[in-house]
A and B are shown apart, each in its own frame.
Chain A
């Protein structure tokens, strides 16, 4: 195990932000499901872009523009390889997963949803995969259906099958839950949706940093992913879509880049992916995103997943041990699915999660508290919110131990 520890040390050394004190204590960053930290290579790429390459892409006739364009499109190729898309044109840059989902809802949804059609989401969606569908369903007169979840935080697949019918036109589903960590059986979800004649979008925000992505093998129609949850800059996301679907969809926003020819009598639109990339894109951040993908590829998804699972198990075992030491249930784990990414939500009974979060912060430990943008899910569990820890490849077992000791020290404030 020595070599794994050494690897982790090397990985940690690439993340300058981790080496600081917060509130007088060494920072322990356990809010990776909200955003991951950035390796030096990504930070350097941003600096390098603005110090040597900055130019607007795709049209200008000068050298800087050519260089910027080349770097920008190189990221698109990296994305294509990262998700194993058939064609590079199937990868559209957005400002994040939220925009990617809104794009599909507002274009595919607006064109193909009609009154009486049904859209299926699940009970564990992030608000960004609920609200866009509510909006378009209301507009189109379509009906939004929700797959319920069980007490472990897993989808009730038999209920999903019951919801599927010839009315189902679209299924939009989270691959891995940000609040619970649950990994959903997306291949089965996609296969069954397709059998019913429906298209499927996967919200890959949480999954893509932990799980190998192969959109051809999954056969998903759309996939949304986020750069900033994948060690890359904020403000960049990707929408993958099958070519024939993207071509059939109307543009999302009008402006420069997305046009072929504009006249006051009418406008013809550019080919994909540019049809969906109106305006000057987030060039610098997209270029730096390639270095984040390089980091993931070099580190290896299997290494990342194995290490993160070990941290999750160490944490869950430790939290369970606190209960057995106390001979009662002081800590309730929320989200105990069999298949999980490295996310654990919990509550300390008799203690508000905000108080716990602030006291952990005072000890230098960054966690997320609240409803995690999943209010319907919290309602299902009868909770206002939870404390959530989420681990990344640069976290260590020693940090988990410090966290568990910190949780122990909070228990005296819990009102039993």
Chain B
């Protein structure tokens, strides 16, 4: 172990954010209640989404609770606004938002989301929400793909 932290490049931060998520979840040692409280707190960190963007067009299909994702594309990067009508789901949305907001379409499409298995997501949220979570990932990737294609 060495004290000098290596200088992190911008392209590493997707890995760093995921490692941080893994570290934070490990603190709860599998305690469901604290994990849920933590997720609900995380949900509060997503910037408020304008009500005008919460239309049916931007609802993520396949989620039992309502999840809205509204994308924009500036300077070659994708920005996401996101919200949910349930607090725990909003925490899940935050995790994706924290990793993918303001990234290039290529980063969103190509970088692996390794934190999901590492934090035991499916055991934590059950299979139904896991399917919903997969739908969020798919939808955000579809937006990234559309921007990538429009850019070429």
Taking beta carbons and an 8 Å cutoff, which residues of A are in contact with B? 23-24, 351-352, 354-355, 358-359, 361-363, 370, 413
Contacts and interface: CB of A to CB of B under 8 A. Distances in A.
B72 interface: no
B32 A413 contact: no
Nearest to A409: B33
A359 B65 contact: no
Contact of B86 (A23, A355, A361): A355
Contacts of A359: 33, 36
Contact of B36 (A351, A352, A362): A362
Nearest to A353: B86
21 contacts: A23-B31, A23-B33, A24-B31, A24-B32, A351-B87, A352-B65, A352-B86, A352-B87, A354-B65, A354-B86, A354-B88, A354-B89, A355-B86, A355-B87, A355-B88, A358-B88, A358-B125, A362-B32, A362-B33, A362-B35, A413-B87
A363 B33 contact: yes
From A351, A352, A355, A361, residue with most partner B Cβ within 10 Å: A355
Contacts, number: 33
The 5 closest A-B pairs by CB, nearest first: A362-B32, A352-B86, A362-B33, A23-B32, A354-B86
B64 interface: yes
Given A24-B31, A362-B32, A363-B33, A355 B40 contact: yes
Given A24-B32, A354-B89, 6 more contacts: A23-B33, A352-B87, A358-B36, A358-B125, A359-B36, A362-B32
From B32, B35, B89, B125, residue with most partner A Cβ within 10 Å: B32
* Interface magnitude class on chain B: 10 to 19
Nearest to A22: B32
Contacts of B40: 355, 413
Identify whether the interface residues of B are mostly helix, strand, loop, or mixed: helix
Nearest to B34: A362
Interface in B59-115: 64-65, 85-89
A351 B87 CA distance: 8
A367 to B, nearest CB: 13
B86 A370 contact: no
A413 B88 CA distance: 11
A361 B32 CA distance: 8
A24 B32 CA distance: 9
Contacts of A354: 64-65, 86, 88-89
A358 B87 CA distance: 11
B64 A370 contact: yes
A246 B28 CA distance: 59
A24 B33 CA distance: 10
B111 to A, nearest CB: 29
Nearest to B89: A354
Nearest to B85: A352
Contacts of B125: 358
A363 B89 CA distance: 19
Interface string B8-30: 00000000000000000000000
A359 B64 CA distance: 17
Nearest to B31: A24
A180 B79 CA distance: 44
A82 to B, nearest CB: 34
A352 B33 CA distance: 17
Contacts of A351: 87
B84 to A, nearest CB: 9
Contacts of B33: 23, 359, 362-363
Contacts of A413: 40, 87
A98 to B, nearest CB: 20
A365 B72 CA distance: 42
